[in-house]
Chain A
């Protein structure tokens, strides 16, 4: 009873050679193309400003934006830190709350029936509409911002994780039953691993949403001074017609979003690449 693996044939024909070439080209293009296109877009932006002689208080050149970013780094980095803090805290609470609620939902159908409507109502009501109310009732500004960002971010985690926890293979469920698994064992060894890819998908969405929630709620919260985030800096710079600084702050927000998304994707790959279809390369 021995099992032998098939050895790949060493002969490579023309078709496979061209296939290999195409694959190599693609792997280079995957990185090169986005970089070239981005650089081209920035260059075009610069040229458009120069050719049309647009004044910098209408549309600054990219170079000026970078320069402003460096010059105002002290103020902008403080603001970035505030926004980042709110985003990450909201994401953390969204993960804890979303996964926790999802586990409770799958443990008790009645609990789900009772509380799912609340989750949906929170999700479908635009945060911009809720935020002013929240800032009336919540005195602490940080808590208010956190609450707004959390409302936006937690739903994808809740709904994805719930879906994942309910997606266990029915034969595996039977098997667990036959072997006398406890509720806790089933949750830990079967449901949570099954839900992991779903959760990570939710996390990628929630990361971006937490940032959006943090920025939007700060627009609503409005008050400035010490401890204000990037959104307030954009508003403030807008009042002062400091367009380059608006762009610089915007650049930081976009970069933050990209970094959060990338980190979530990397985490996803690290946790799934050994076994999940979405993260495994096709082997030929």
Chain B
């Protein structure tokens, strides 16, 4: 249960992104991340699981290019282009003055493409999340779950190589969350997309991902990696299976381990 100490050379398998020895320090004192190593392969569904303050959102923001690491490298295999990245936040983050289709248009619009040029992409994307009938609706006319679907459609519309999701379903009720979890896996199966999913729910991370990266706080760091060796497609039955319960226990133990670990500074 140590950090990924042996890093294979770049370019193996269908590697998409690698973070090596990434540190992020705020204000010169707060260590948000220490020595983060993460390799993301094509088609991975990785969950970053950990208590608040473990730097999982910071890791996501670094990958998204919203901030720069203090030390270390973040390398995209083949470089990163516009439209390679889709992002879904905890809130739906829709523009209330724009219709559903205008919201989904945004990533293309910011690259100077007219609505007519990308109408096909927008409709495809809305169809993927089951909202093709709501293209002319305004966000306030939609339920919380539907707004989140629009947000996902917007992330999909450029057919990105990597989708970052920052606790996207945390604010939803359990029934809606389960439904969206199922739909997300269906989407992933259909599109073969690569996802990094931040969550603090053990159950969600086990249900969704094929690899759970458990993180610890103060300083934020990787504390364990839990592989989830359950085959896809995963359905509602998987949620009640013995294998699921066993995997949840393993992940839960790893999370507790992470929470009881003390940082080097604290133990010194």
Query: B96: which A residues are within 8 A, CB to CB?
Result: 275-276
B93 and A179 within 8 A (CB) = no
A179 and B89 within 8 A (CB) = no
Query: B263: which A residues are within 8 A, CB to CB?
Result: none
B106 and A175 within 8 A (CB) = yes
Interface membership of chain A positions 92-127, coded 1 if the CB is closer than 8 angstroms to chain B and 0 otherwise: 000000000000000000000000000000000000
* Known A171-B91, A175-B93; 16 more pairs at CB < 8 Å: A1-B129, A3-B134, A3-B146, A3-B149, A172-B93, A174-B64, A174-B87, A176-B110, A180-B82, A180-B110, A181-B110, A189-B109, A196-B97, A274-B97, A277-B140, A280-B140
Listed by A's residue number, 30 A-B pairs whose Cβ atoms lie within 8 Å are A1-B130, A1-B183, A3-B133, A3-B134, A3-B146, A171-B91, A172-B93, A172-B95, A174-B61, A174-B64, A174-B87, A174-B89, A175-B89, A175-B106, A176-B110, A178-B64, A178-B87, A179-B111, A180-B82, A180-B110, A180-B111, A189-B106, A189-B110, A193-B95, A193-B98, A274-B97, A274-B138, A275-B138, A275-B139, A276-B96
Docked Cα-Cα span, A193 to B95, in Å, equals 9
Q: Does A190 contact B (CB under 8 A)?
A: yes
B110 and A177 within 8 A (CB) = no
Docked Cα-Cα span, A277 to B129, in Å, equals 26
Q: Give A contacts to B, CB under 8 Å.
A: 1-3, 169, 171-172, 174-181, 185, 189-190, 193, 196, 274-277, 280
**How near does chain A come to B123, taking the closest CB pair, in angstroms?**
15
Docked Cα-Cα span, A102 to B39, in Å, equals 46
Docked Cα-Cα span, A282 to B91, in Å, equals 22
A3 and B131 within 8 A (CB) = yes
A179 and B66 within 8 A (CB) = no
Query: A274: which B residues are within 8 A, CB to CB?
Result: 97, 138
Docked Cα-Cα span, A193 to B89, in Å, equals 21
Q: Majority SS of interface residues in chain A?
A: helix
Query: A275: which B residues are within 8 A, CB to CB?
Result: 96-97, 138-140
Q: Which of B47-67 contact A (CB under 8 A)?
A: 61, 64-66
A175 and B146 within 8 A (CB) = no
- Residue in chain B with minimal CB distance to A280: B140
Q: Does B107 contact A (CB under 8 A)?
A: yes
Query: A196: which B residues are within 8 A, CB to CB?
Result: 97
**How near does chain A come to B96, taking the closest CB pair, in angstroms?**
5
- Using known A-B contacts A179-B107, A280-B140, determine if residue A3 contacts B91 with beta carbons closer than 8 Å: no
- Residue in chain B with minimal CB distance to A192: B97
Name the 10 nearest CB pairs between A and B, nearest first: A1-B130, A171-B93, A179-B110, A193-B97, A181-B110, A171-B89, A275-B96, A275-B97, A179-B107, A275-B138
B110 and A185 within 8 A (CB) = yes
**How near does chain B come to A7, taking the closest CB pair, in angstroms?**
14
Docked Cα-Cα span, A275 to B93, in Å, equals 14
Question: What number of A-B contacts does a CB cutoff of 8 Å give?
Answer: 64
Query: A169: which B residues are within 8 A, CB to CB?
Result: 93
Q: Which of B120-178 contact A (CB under 8 A)?
A: 129-131, 133-134, 138-140, 146, 149
Q: Does B186 contact A (CB under 8 A)?
A: yes
Query: B131: which A residues are within 8 A, CB to CB?
Result: 3
Query: A172: which B residues are within 8 A, CB to CB?
Result: 93, 95
Docked Cα-Cα span, A185 to B106, in Å, equals 11
Docked Cα-Cα span, A176 to B154, in Å, equals 12
Query: B97: which A residues are within 8 A, CB to CB?
Result: 193, 196, 274-276
Docked Cα-Cα span, A280 to B97, in Å, equals 12
Interface membership of chain B positions 81-101, coded 1 if the CB is closer than 8 angstroms to chain A and 0 otherwise: 010010101010101111000
- Residue in chain B with minimal CB distance to A277: B140
Docked Cα-Cα span, A276 to B140, in Å, equals 9
Docked Cα-Cα span, A215 to B69, in Å, equals 60
**How near does chain B come to A242, taking the closest CB pair, in angstroms?**
52
- Using known A-B contacts A3-B146, A276-B96, determine if residue A175 contacts B87 with beta carbons closer than 8 Å: yes
Docked Cα-Cα span, A185 to B96, in Å, equals 17
Docked Cα-Cα span, A185 to B108, in Å, equals 12
Query: A177: which B residues are within 8 A, CB to CB?
Result: 65-66
A178 and B85 within 8 A (CB) = yes
Docked Cα-Cα span, A2 to B186, in Å, equals 13
Interface membership of chain B positions 183-203, coded 1 if the CB is closer than 8 angstroms to chain A and 0 otherwise: 100100000000000000000
**How near does chain A come to B118, taking the closest CB pair, in angstroms?**
13
Of B89, B95, B140, B186, chain A has the most CB atoms within 10 Å of the CB of B95
Query: B139: which A residues are within 8 A, CB to CB?
Result: 275
